[in-house]
Amino acid sequence: MTVHGEELVINMGPQHPSTHGVLRLLLKTDGEVVGEALPQIGYLHRCFEKSAERVSWNGVVPYTDRMDYVAAISNEWSFVLAAEKLGNATVPERGEYCRVISAELQRIASHLVAFGTFGIDMGAFTPFLHAFRDREKILDILEMMSGARLLYHYIRIGGVMSDCDSKICEMIKLFIKDMRTRLPEYHQLLSYNRIFIERTANVGIITREQAINYNITGPNLRATGMEWDLRKCDPYSIYDRFEFKIAVGTCEHGVSGDSWNRYMVRLIEIEESLKILEQAVEQIPAGPISAAIKVFKPAPGEIYARTEGARGEIGFYVISDGDLKPFRVKAKSPSFCALSGFHEYSRNLMIADLVALLGSIDIVLGEVDR
Amino acid sequence: MSSFLQNYFVSFIAGLLNHQPLAWILYGIISGAVILGVLSAYGALAVYAERKIMAFMQCRLGPMEVGPEIELRIAGMKILPKGWYGLGVLIADGIKLLGKEDTVPAKADSLIFKLAPAIVFAATITSFVVIPFAPFFTPADIDAGILVILAASSIVAVGIVMGGYASNNKWSLYGAIRSVAQVVSYEVPMGLALLSVVMTTGSLALADIADNQSGWAWNWHAFSNVWLFIAAIIYIISSLAETNRTPFDIPEAEAELVAGYHTEYSGMRFALFMFAEYINMLLVSLIASVFFFGGYYSGIQWLDRYYFLGPFVLGAKALLLVIIMIWLRWTLPRFRVDQLMTLCWKAMLPLSIIAFVGAAAALFQTSLVFAIFWRFCILILLALFAFEVAKGIRTKSISRKATE
């Protein structure tokens, strides 16, 4: 026998600790059970796409930083890739390596934030600070590379802004060594904690069909067991030179596509990124880091370019009319896609499970609203 | 057994004033003031301890270093170095809480809203009067002391409901609902665990229960037979739920309910809630010490006749348990509501009934063989636990070596 009470409508957010920014969820609850959760977005809309039409091609890059501010480099790269394809610009070898190194560092940093905040969502505060301690080292390295700690503006059209010299490579090697001792600690502290598994396994399942229908990409898709990673499936830059595996949901606990597997995919990806970093630091050739482009003025045309960001496929559809400014820029953001089906896979969860689901799809509201 | 110190004190004042009822009132006021003073000091230090332990576990620098830039010297002697070991934060915290605006939400039920923290606080400290701090010294030696404690701790839940309901905030209401459900559920295994001890001792008075455990440490209830050992563990787990501490902090689950029932409180009203929580931690630890871990007896028979050691021994045991609670808070994630209930009704309750029946059966077996057998069982349980811990430490060091 089930008892149904009166429906209570609650606002979760935009000021709520576990909506990770300014997301507002309209919950229709019956006791602890949430019948329906409707995401209301737009609290962080900054007219990125319109602003991009007003600035030069290179000037758009710092705007893209501000989309997904937790993983800024992947946004930059995607836009720059689109611009380069339009303008037929080539990137020197060393520049490509610098891009890979920065992007993989950024991916680790982003996944560390996801790991830490997910810990907080589950009530464990300590993993968060441990993750931020390790992220701090990445930020130090990226600061040495670009001069900034959060919004880098590091990748430019034709190459990168500054070199990844031997000193930075040494730092990265140290970091790789250090990070590999940390991961078992993370697993012990959170991943294989009995309560944590109880809370996340079999909770907030996104099936593979749902994921494909809503165009969910990145770790959220891979957690369903689908091997889809643009670095392997549609290789860009020099990713075909590195050996790494596509991290997919292990199903060690729970079923594929649940919160635990989404969480685990990120931790496995940290390991894989460390592998790529290790190889990149070894292989990095000498040479210029950037092609000399005085005035970037691509021919009229349109293009869609995509990269594998920390949150999934981040793409830019760009139209050029042969001017110094882009005619139209449209971003495809993985967080928006992950959120667009939220009403469907959040049905009939408990409030605590809703938090687990929201934390494990790891959205950044700056990217949802742009 | 009546409380020696209490009778002495009252008759002394009654002799001076020649008025018996007045002497009783004076005694109440003085002992109340002493308890309140000690608890205030404890509250501040518990917050400090929580910060420090948290800082050690999380590599935080703030609680270690933030403080005045000058050394504290008294009469030329260096008391505290620069930064004061983070003690300055404590003072700043107090000033901040006192200085904050005391807000009452516009549509809140003002009277109940203001009353709630007071009720929670008062109900929490009430229980301290029946705690025996030393042989012959219980502030109020009531025959049915444990009933007072159980009654008072239930009133805490009433205060929380009042706070959550009166805030006129849906999240607060959720916190209040969860709190009631949790406290009501966990009082059942908790009561049964305590009842096992009451049955073994044959008295509801806490002083009698403590006195039953004099002598060596294996006379402590928790180590006297395996059933009471299980009861002790059940009590400690339920007391975590009773005090809303992690992993059972769902009434104030930050990630889900913002701050639960005290979302709308600010300033000193909020401080009262927090204060009550910390004091409650001490209270349940004191009860655990008295019921299961020898109370004011140190576990070394030769020290038993030094009565003045009593409060310190009891305090040390209770603080150790408080530290374990803090340690757990910064290690474990949080349960979900239904998992909490499942754990309570499907695991803890049957286990506590088993412990209760077992303890009853053990009462009839007083021969030495059984006494040794029960203690042997406890040793095996402890050894298993130690083995698990050692295994955990070993895998960690292996994984470290493998990666290095």
Angle between helices B267-292 and B170-201 (to 10 degrees): 20
DSSP string, A271-303: HHHHHHHHHHHHHPPPS-SB---SS--PPSEEE
Across the A:B interface, residue pairs with CB atoms under 8 Å apart total 96
Alpha-carbon gap, residue A180 to B403, rounded angstroms? 6
Query: So what's the pLDDT on residue B400?
Result: 54
Q: B185-226: per-residue pLDDT in tens?
A: 888 898 899 888 888 888 888 888 888 887 777 778 888 888
| Nearest residue to A318 via CA among A48, A112, A14 | A48
Q: Establish if B242 touches chain A: CB-CB under 8 angstroms.
A: no
Nearest to B333 among A8, A180, A199 (CB): A199
Q: Which residues of B touch A30 (CB under 8 A)?
A: none
Q: Establish if B63 touches chain A: CB-CB under 8 angstroms.
A: no
Amino acid at position B212, single letter = N
Alpha-carbon gap, residue A356 to A259, rounded angstroms? 7
Residue B56 falls inside a structural domain: no
SS3 B19: coil
| Backbone phi, psi, residue A313, to 5° | -70, 115
Residue B222 token pair: 């928790």
Q: B310-352: per-residue pLDDT in tens?
A: 888 888 888 899 998 888 888 888 888 888 888 888 888 999 9
SS3 B365: coil
SS3 B296: coil
Tell me the β-bridge partners of A155.
Answer: A160
Q: Smallest CA–CA separation between B171 and chain A, in Å?
A: 8
* Cα B107 to Cα A306, B169, B259, B299, distances in angstroms: 51, 9, 19, 55
Low-confidence ranges of chain A (pLDDT < 50): none
Residue B309 falls inside a structural domain: yes
ipTM value for the complex: 0.79
Which residues have a Cβ under 8 Å from the Cβ of B124 and sit 6 or more positions away?
B152, B153, B156, B276, B279, B280, B283
Q: What angle do CA A76, A80, A81 make, to 5 degrees?
A: 115
Q: How far is CA A217 from the centre of its chain?
A: 10
Q: Which of B168, B180, B182, B256 is the best substitution to test chain A (most A C-beta atoms within 10 A)?
A: B256
* Cα B185 to Cα B154, B189, B199, distances in angstroms: 11, 8, 22
Q: What is the largest CA-CA distance in chain B?
A: 79
**CATH number where A356 lies:** 1.10.645.10
Containing domain of residue B267, as a range?
Answer: 104-364
Tell me the β-bridge partners of A306.
Answer: A315
| Nearest residue to B103 via CA among B274, B260, B271, B266 | B266
> DSSP secondary-structure letter at B11?
H
SS3 B32: helix
Q: Establish if B69 touches chain A: CB-CB under 8 angstroms.
A: no
Residue A24 token pair: 């507002």
Q: Establish if A103 touches chain B: CB-CB under 8 angstroms.
A: no
Which residue has 């940390």 as its token pair? A182
Over 60: is that where the pLDDT of B404 sits? no
Alpha-carbon gap, residue B293 to A112, rounded angstroms? 43
Residue of A nearest to B249 (CA): A123
Query: So what's the pLDDT on residue A109?
Result: 92
* pLDDT, averaged across chain B: 81
SS3 A11: strand
Yes or no, beta carbons of B338 and A350 under 8 Å apart: yes
Is A220:A204 a contact under the CB 8 Å cutoff? no
Nearest to A195 among B60, B332, B337 (CB): B332
Q: How many domains does the structure of chain A reveal?
A: 1
Tell me the β-bridge partners of A350.
Answer: A33
Residue of A nearest to B54 (CA): A126
Name the percent of chain A lying above pLDDT 70: 99
Q: How confident is the model at residue B108 (pLDDT cuts 50, 70, 90)?
A: confident
Outline where DSSP puts E strands in B63-123: 72-74, 77-80
SS3 content of chain A, % helix, strand, coil (to 5): 50, 15, 35
Is B114:B272 a contact under the CB 8 Å cutoff? no
Yes or no, beta carbons of A352 and B336 under 8 Å apart: yes
Yes or no, beta carbons of A352 and B337 under 8 Å apart: yes
Nearest to A120 among B255, B335, B337 (CB): B255
Yes or no, beta carbons of A188 and B392 under 8 Å apart: yes
> DSSP secondary-structure letter at A247?
P
Q: Which residues of A touch B59 (CB under 8 A)?
A: 129-130, 133
Q: B135-184: per-residue pLDDT in tens?
A: 777 777 778 888 888 888 888 888 888 888 888 888 888 888 888 888 88
Interface of A with B in 132-191 (CB under 8 A): 133, 177, 180-181, 183-185, 188-190
Yes or no, beta carbons of B403 and A119 under 8 Å apart: no
Is B243:B277 a contact under the CB 8 Å cutoff? yes
Over 60: is that where the pLDDT of B354 sits? yes
Q: What's the whole-number mean pLDDT along residues B280-288? A: 90
Q: How many domains does the structure of chain B reveal?
A: 1
Name the percent of chain B lying above pLDDT 70: 94
Yes or no, beta carbons of A123 and B392 under 8 Å apart: no
Q: Establish if A34 touches chain B: CB-CB under 8 angstroms.
A: no
Alpha-carbon gap, residue B325 to B323, rounded angstroms? 5
Residue A14 token pair: 């935009």
Q: Smallest CA–CA separation between A122 and chain B, in Å?
A: 5
Query: So what's the pLDDT on residue B14?
Result: 74
Containing domain of residue A200, as a range?
Answer: 47-369
Query: So what's the pLDDT on residue B1?
Result: 40
Is A76:A153 a contact under the CB 8 Å cutoff? yes
SS3 content of chain B, % helix, strand, coil (to 5): 75, 0, 25
| Nearest residue to A130 via CA among B167, B159, B169, B330 | B330
| Nearest residue to B187 via CA among B351, B321, B349 | B349
Query: So what's the pLDDT on residue B399?
Result: 56
Alpha-carbon gap, residue A218 to A310, rounded angstroms? 7
Q: How many CB atoms lie within 10 A of CB A370?
A: 24
Residue of A nearest to B340 (CA): A195
Query: What element of type H or E holds B359?
Result: helix B349-363
What end-to-end distance do the CA atoms of chain A give, in Å? 46
Which residue has 């930059």 as its token pair? A76
> DSSP secondary-structure letter at B400?
H
Nearest to B403 among A181, A199, A350 (CB): A181
Burial-class residue A2 by CB neighbours within 10 Å (0-12, 13-18, 19+). exposed
Residue of B nearest to A353 (CA): B336
Residue A255 falls inside a structural domain: yes
